[in-house]
Structure 1
Amino acid sequence: MGKSTVVIEQGQRIGGLTSGGLGDTDVGMKQAIGGLSLEFYQRVARKYSQDDARWLFEPKVALEVLHDLVREHNIEVIYGERLDLKNGVVKRGSTITSIRAESGNVYRGKMFIDASYEGDLMGNAGVSYFVGRESNSQYGETLNGIRPGNELPSGIDPYVIKGDPSSGLIQRVNPNPGGNIGDGDTKLQAYNFRMCLTNNPDNRVEIEKPEGYNEADYEILFRAIEQGQNTKFFKLNMVTSDKTDSNNNSGISTDYNGMNHNYAEADYDTREQILNAHRIYQQGYVWTIQNHHRVPEKISAVYKPWGLPRDEFIESGHWTPQLYIRESRRMIGDYVVTEHDVRLENPVPDSIGMGSFAIDSHHTQYYVNEDGHVSTEGGFYIKLKAPYPISYRAIVPKQSECTNLLVPVCVSATHAAYGSIRMEPVFMILGQSAATAAALALDGDGIVQHVQVEQLHAMLTRDNQVLYEDV
């Protein structure tokens, strides 16, 4: 659209989860994916000499596609720059004039897009946001707030010494869920790493017991096995003939339940500690499944052939540097997407793209249930019947707070609605729409809230964005 742009990447690898291990795409309904999002998956297919779109792929191929786009469009990408979290945003009234990185470098622009998982620019620009789970009563929802529901075998004793409350609770188990069903709180659904694994001996690097390994962290695992769990320890979803996208698969799996609740608003050092703790837990989890004497051989044998691919994530020891930030800050704009939007109960005249994946939240914590046993809390997975439109107002702040910022990832949505929105194809869709709106605002008065929906719709339709299901 003829504008000068710069992309600032906090790490050394563009693409987030798309190039960071999530190769088994959370597609939802394919008819809802268009524009640059669809083009990305079509480009992936061409890398495999296939037609149409490909939704299963290796991280290195996704990265190659992104590098192709950067090169073809001569996009300036600056790596390793992080926003100064103390005074990194300079505003004049409700307009951001510049941002400062920790390095001291200053970036001035007329328009800013916060496409990060954490929403640091949005959060430090004086824009309202929420962290955690709203109560069901706040927006008349059914899936928000505290949601007991066990995905563990029944009968897991919660105490360090079984049957002895005086011995204390085993690690990561809370005495109660912290409130009543449907109550809000500040807890976040669990994070993990999406592991790319291979069973090809010529390309496999063994996952070793990590430094900092803590056997007590796996007590729930051991007790789940004792209570009869013998499958679903982590997924082995194949993205090629010998590589996986391995994700969480049950109440005790690769998610580090309960250990990310302070991530969203933490400083960089604390986030790095959280990331490293997740890495140690997850590498230790795989090592434990494969090698620990309390894991039966028939279980170990299923997972033993799998290791890290030698040809992936070479710069970071074959382990992805991208933690799966399933949810962090969520903006509070003039319009908040709720469960009612996702269920097609509200008209949305200003659609900028569609979501279609299930309403999906991973677990938030472990607690002692009314039977006196360990239970999971916070998970839900509700499939949708049809795609739903996402409002332009969900990616723009309140005009009084900021007039030249768009937020296509940490969008204005409740925890329940975000459970469906938070998928990589949708982030690409909203990213394209945000950039289009930014360009239109620059051609107008520079205020994103003043972008004409009809003009935006015309531009997005021209660029193959799917705005409504009947398009």
Structure 2
Amino acid sequence: MRTITVGFVIIIAFFMACSNPGSEASDAYDADIIIYGGTSAAVTAAVKVARSGQSVIVVSPDIHLGGLSSGGLGFTDTGNKEVIGGLSREFYQRVYEYYQQEETWRWQDRSDFGNRGQGTTALDEEFGTMWIFEPHIAEKVFEDFIEEEGITVLRDEWLNRKDGVSTENERIVFFETLSGKIFRGEMFIDATYEGDLMAAAGVSYHVGRESNDTYDEEWNGVQTGVYHHSHFFPPDGPYVDPYVSPGDPSSGIIAGVSVAPPGDKGSGDHRVQAYCFRMCLSDHPDNKVPFPKPDNYEPSQYLLLLRLFESGWHERNNFFAKYDEIPNRKTDTNNHGPVSTDYIGMSYDYPEASYERREQIIREHEDYQKGMMYFLANDPRVPREIQDEVKRWGLAKDEFTDNGNWPHQLYIREARRMIGEVVMTEHEVLGNREVPEPVGMGSYTLDSHNVQRYITPEGYVQNEGDIGVSPDQPYQISYGSLIPKREEIQNLLVPVALSASHIAFGSIRMEPVFMILGHSAAAAAVLALIEDQAVQDVDYSLLREELQEDGQILWYP
């Protein structure tokens, strides 16, 4: 373990103050390991570093820690819970402990909770885990981790992506945030959904879908004619017309439909899967807020939804299938159906966009989704049985109380993905290829939400990109997918925007797995720090031993 002396800190602070005239010495920060991001992976990485005895600083653009895990995604995508270990499992154990307290059950008797999880029970009494939870409980757990380990977190600090990363001899020396603060470390971890530090450091990455030819895959690229879930317009009808005046292309296209051709099946493109907010709703009379009307509300934006209802959509009465129950009469509300809370086609430029443009995209998603809920609850053209059910719900009054009861985090399902030492593909996920040096496991379906909505050659609306292919059993995730190529950067690990093809990332991108990989990335960073070596040179046998002692699951029988 390296010890940082007071004198060394003073020297570094003086150096940075002199070499950066606009920065005062008080704006210089130094730690063994610097973590950029406020996601669940950022927290588990920081906890692992602190418990290993090294100094760590979390530099978070977010004010609220936990990303989607505390941002509305409480109906956990567990997959096979047997392969969730280490600090990830500890998170769910701590959630369980909160729900053992009677005061936690404020709006519902514990006995009235349905105990249904995603492929498992919500409350696992045998192993003391709780997989389904409210956003504010998740945030409490993350903050407990930070407080107990005495971890320094600087919030609302945004990386200077233009010229704020200093590298030398294939190593990051320091990075600067827009506020002028400078963060110097021996090792760095990019735990953002976007991969901003990785990209600014010059690491190779990909945005969008690779062609199937790129990695000899089947489920990557454009997937026209593939209908795996129920999030498409019935290909055999009834059909939905895309034109303002049905049958008249000259009348214009209704909102939400693209005129661009979808592309050849299996070809790559720049598109990313749709984003949405995971709303937390309540039907308790004393804990719900009516759906607000956005300032720029425009009912015509939801004409496609009306046409879906008018077509006699076969799942019309199943419109509420993804109002998944979480404790205290609340929901984790996700997309469902051909037209839903997923804002299809409206996030393509998000991964590379400026902060200002990203904020605009986030607001557009918020306005779309808020407007949809207001439309469903109030527009007289909405079928009565659907409108009456929507009116029963509202935003949960005791969640996201500093943000108008709206989630802080947009669901960035996919942004940049590193091209690292190893690229995870569908072959590894489906068990068709051996995985070198595993540092964690995943098990969820190869899952991509819709990527685009287009007009078919016959002149009707259709969605494309929604894929769901389940692996036969849990799969391993390679250490090489967390590290850049040696010739690029040698002291950075990337556990979230990791090295994977679009479709493989569709399985890996689940919150329990991000926490697993944050933990493992931190363990590797500590070993590289102690041995004074590149992350590409970490002795895997030592890393494996460390992870197994921490309870990480690296093999499935």
* TM-score of the pair, normalised by structure 2: 0.83
Match of 2:251 in 1: 167
Contact 1:342 1:388 survives alignment (8 Å): yes
Aligned pairs for 1:227-376 within 5 A: 227-229=311-313, 230-234=316-320, 235-376=322-463
1:241: how far off? 4.3
Q: Provide the alpha-carbon RMSD of the alignment.
A: 1.1
Q: Does 1:13 align with 2:13?
A: no
1:299: how far off? 1.1
Write the distance in 2 (CA, Å) between the matches of 1:6 and 1:231. Answer: 50
Write the distance in 1 (CA, Å) between the matches of 2:197 and 2:346. Answer: 24
Write the distance in 2 (CA, Å) between the matches of 1:84 and 1:233. Answer: 43
Q: Does 1:83 align with 2:170?
A: no
Q: Does 1:3 align with 2:54?
A: yes
Contact 1:359 1:416 survives alignment (8 Å): yes
Task: Give unmatched runs, 5+ long, in structure 2.
Answer: 1-51, 101-122
The AA in structure 1 aligned to 2:330 is K
1:176: how far off? 4.6
Aligned pairs for 1:108-147 within 5 A: 108-147=184-223
SS of the aligned residue for 1:290 comes to helix
Deviations 1:135-160 (A, max 9, x none): 01111111001112461243100111
- The percentage of counterpart residues that share the same residue type is 49
**Greater CA radius of gyration, 1 or 2?**
2
Comparing 208-217 with 193-202, greater Cα deviation is found at 208-217
Match of 2:283 in 1: 199
Which of 378, 391, 397 in structure 1 is aligned with 2:465? 378
Match of 1:27 in 2: 78
Q: Does 1:152 align with 2:152?
A: no
Contact 1:110 1:446 survives alignment (8 Å): no
1:273: how far off? 0.2
1:20: how far off? 0.4
SS of the aligned residue for 2:477 comes to strand
1:167: how far off? 1.1
Match of 2:515 in 1: 428
SS of the aligned residue for 1:67 comes to helix
1:349: how far off? 3.0
Cα distance change, pair 123–232 in 1 and its aligned pair in 2 (3 A)? farther
1:384: how far off? 2.1
Write the distance in 2 (CA, Å) between the matches of 1:446 and 1:210. Answer: 53
Write the distance in 1 (CA, Å) between the matches of 2:372 and 2:378. Answer: 10
Deviations 1:34-56 (A, max 9, x none): 00000000100010017411110
1:372: how far off? 1.4
The AA in structure 1 aligned to 2:431 is L
Write the distance in 2 (CA, Å) between the matches of 1:217 and 1:129. Answer: 35
Contact 1:363 1:376 survives alignment (8 Å): yes
Contact 2:98 2:137 survives alignment (8 Å): yes
Contact 1:146 1:177 survives alignment (8 Å): no
Contact 1:173 1:374 survives alignment (8 Å): yes
**Where in structure 1 do 4 or more consecutive aligned residues deviate above 4 Å?**
none
Q: Does 1:407 align with 2:494?
A: yes
Write the distance in 2 (CA, Å) between the matches of 1:180 and 1:214. Answer: 34
Write the distance in 2 (CA, Å) between the matches of 1:366 and 1:293. Answer: 26
Write the distance in 2 (CA, Å) between the matches of 1:308 and 1:446. Answer: 50
Contact 2:436 2:479 survives alignment (8 Å): no
Which of 159, 164, 181 in structure 1 is aligned with 2:265? 181
Comparing 8-17 with 229-238, greater Cα deviation is found at 229-238
1:334: how far off? 2.3
Contact 1:32 1:355 survives alignment (8 Å): yes
Contact 2:362 2:410 survives alignment (8 Å): yes
Write the distance in 2 (CA, Å) between the matches of 1:104 and 1:454. Answer: 40
1:370: how far off? 2.7
Comparing 179-188 with 152-161, greater Cα deviation is found at 152-161
The AA in structure 1 aligned to 2:149 is H
Write the distance in 1 (CA, Å) between the matches of 2:344 and 2:73. Answer: 19
Contact 1:233 1:253 survives alignment (8 Å): no
Number of matched pairs = 470
Q: Does 1:39 align with 2:39?
A: no
* TM-score of the pair, normalised by structure 1: 0.98
Write the distance in 2 (CA, Å) between the matches of 1:95 and 1:351. Answer: 24
1:304: how far off? 1.2
Write the distance in 1 (CA, Å) between the matches of 2:173 and 2:318. Answer: 50
Write the distance in 1 (CA, Å) between the matches of 2:452 and 2:475. Answer: 30
